[in-house]
Amino acid sequence: MANPLLTLMTLRSAGARRNSLRRVAVKVPTNGPTTDAIFLAFRRMRGPLIVMIVTFSISILGLSLIPGTDDQGKPYQMTVFDSFYVISYTATTIGFGETPYTFSVAQRMWVAFAIYASVIGWAYAISALFSLLQDHSFREAVAVQRFRRAVARIDEPFFIVAGYGHTGRRVAKALDELGRRFVVLDEDDRRIDALSNEQLLVDSPGLDGDAANPRLLGLAGLGHPKCEGVLALTDDNETNLAIVMAVHLLRPQVTVIARCDDREIAARMLDFEPDAVINPFDRYGSYLVLSLQRPITYQLVSWLMNPRGTRLPARREGLTDGRWVVTGDDRFATEVSADLEDAGLDVTLTKAADGYPDVCAAVGFVAGASSDATSLSLAAHARRERPDIFLSVRQSMSRNDSLLDAFDPDSVFVPTQLVARETLARVVAPYLWGFIEQAGEQGEEWSAAMLQVLRRRCGSATPSTQLVTLDRVGAPAVVRWLGHDELRLGDLLRDPDDRDSLTPVAALVLIREEHTLYAPDLQERLQPGDLLLLAGREPGLDILSGTLYSDSAVEYVATGRSVPSAWVWRALSGTHRR
């Protein structure tokens, strides 16, 4: 069986991918699927505006033609401006006054006519305006324009999250907690309304519409210079396929990750070379096989992928020596059963509608019904029949979290959680994901040694990770030291207060130009420009960050010489180096 951690496409650099499919560079469309709001307003208000203009014009013209008298009783005819002034404050119901002289009877009759005519015109215009404000097309056009302006104002890297269901919401909240910007597209306007009510650190633009429409992706910022990725997480596989196609053809340099639980559609996606296609059913089967065949590697991988602070998961062995029973009512059971059979296990596939399966001689049972209640009842019966059986339960609804926590199965499959976790690992911490994939290529001995190092340095809780660049911005003191002397990785990780001990930090990856070293040796000589992916507890990472900026700390961990930290005292003592 192929390595389960490498069944998906790995993240690749933009310059080294997407060259096999011939394409022509075109501009990303940004004209929305709806008409401009101003145009709609003028079109719908055209009749009322014409009525108001005609009413005002006739009223002004009539008042200027009707003769009156001045204060001396002489004939007087109002100018057009005077008539406009009088009709303006009269017809708009601001007030009433006879100016510049007292009106004649004919003038008063005409003004009375103008008042009633304008009231009718205003009533017609206001009713048309309210009708316009309630019109779906106009409201959609206003929302599109507001969305377009919000996206254009983003001045930092952001992701387009297509689909704001359970998976999209998990990913969006995690991105927000990490301080990463995102834009949301979803066909359900209720989900977009829910986005505005989310307690997010930064307001994120959202628009309801079909994300398969390239114009909508353009409005969401696909052509924006700060767009760094598109996450196709809708519940529709065809929509996700259309998003992958649009991104590849319009912005091939942008990262795109898609969710797909249909193997045929996933194969079509691969023709457009996405950075990853995540099939939750197939992925869970791969992880399950990994936990059975290589429990130490699975323990390491799942531990690093869990949220920070998660306790090291327990490890069970000997689960490949016996029969497995898989029960379900859709593709999930078929996918998991096929993965277990490909791994050489004895598998019995049953339907949930057929009742409780026989698990008396089984070592493992997968309760994979689409209904959480059915899966829990199947798992409970299996536990009663065989208390020591390995139980894997599928969970479809997040509202049942407390029930699954109380039941405490050996493994829980939550499709939305699995897709969200892998998506975040790829876009937020690609170097960590590269290390996880590398762990999948190594044997159990390598994983056991790495796990031992991490536990000794970081404890039994999932460590934090930090990417350090050895340059004049990220590590100026280290760069200055490397300008005249050497520094080994193990020395950099020493405690700046006691170099005989190491800080609670471990190096996972060292990237140097085109070369990547996983679990680098502590004797590795560092060079300016190196990238280091470090894992450790927060206090240890803080201590190491202090070393990166302190010349005296770097000299101490490198040589053991304690020198003054202030530049003046170092110069006076003769320990200052240029």
Residues 234-259 have pLDDT tens digits of 999 999 999 999 999 999 999 999 99
Confirm if 553 and 546 have CB atoms less than 8 A apart: yes
* Distance of alpha carbon 160 from the chain centroid: 7
Confirm if 232 and 244 have CB atoms less than 8 A apart: yes
Checking if the pLDDT of 16 tops 90, the result is no
Query: Which pLDDT value is given to residue 508?
Result: 94
Amino acid in the structure at residue 522 = L
Query: Which pLDDT value is given to residue 565?
Result: 56
Confirm if 195 and 168 have CB atoms less than 8 A apart: no
**Rounded Cα distance, 244 and 246, in Å:** 6
- For 532-544, how does the pLDDT look when each residue is reduced to its tens digit (9 = 90+)? 999 999 899 999 9
Cα–Cα distances in Å, from 379 out to 127, 322, 331, 575? 62, 18, 19, 69
**Rounded Cα distance, 235 and 169, in Å:** 13
**Rounded Cα distance, 70 and 104, in Å:** 10
Query: Which pLDDT value is given to residue 134?
Result: 85
**Rounded Cα distance, 253 and 243, in Å:** 14
Query: Which pLDDT value is given to residue 234?
Result: 95
- Write out the two tokens for 211: 């994300």
- pLDDT bucket at 563, cuts 50 / 70 / 90: low
* Distance of alpha carbon 84 from the chain centroid: 58
Query: Which pLDDT value is given to residue 35?
Result: 53
Checking if the pLDDT of 385 tops 80, the result is yes
Query: Which pLDDT value is given to residue 202?
Result: 87
The predicted model scores a pTM of: 0.78
Percentage of the chain lying above the pLDDT 90 cut:
57
Cα–Cα distances in Å, from 423 out to 92, 157, 453? 59, 17, 27
Q: How many CB atoms lie within 10 A of CB 524?
A: 16
**Rounded Cα distance, 224 and 151, in Å:** 8
Checking if the pLDDT of 129 tops 50, the result is yes
- pLDDT bucket at 2, cuts 50 / 70 / 90: very low
Dihedrals φ, ψ of 397, to 5°?
-115, 130
Query: Which pLDDT value is given to residue 32?
Result: 59
pLDDT, average across residues 471-484: 93
What is the chain's mean pLDDT, rounded?
87
Checking if the pLDDT of 65 tops 80, the result is yes
- Write out the two tokens for 496: 């700046």
Residue 569: enclosing H or E segment and its boundaries?
Answer: helix 567-572
Percentage of the chain lying above the pLDDT 70 cut:
93
Amino acid in the structure at residue 114 = A
Please confirm whether the linkage preceding 520 is cis (ω < 30° from 0): no
Among the ranges given (209-223, 246-260, 318-332), the one the predictor scored with the smallest mean pLDDT: 318-332
**Rounded Cα distance, 13 and 511, in Å:** 14
Instruction: Report the Cα–Cα distance between both ends of the chain, in Å, rounded.
Output: 57
Amino acid in the structure at residue 553 = A
Number of alpha carbons in the 13 Å side-chain half-sphere of residue 156:
6
- For 486-528, how does the pLDDT look when each residue is reduced to its tens digit (9 = 90+)? 999 999 999 998 989 999 999 999 999 888 999 999 999 999 9
Q: Strand, helix or coil at 61?
A: helix
Query: Which pLDDT value is given to residue 257?
Result: 96
Q: Return the DSSP state at 202.
A: S
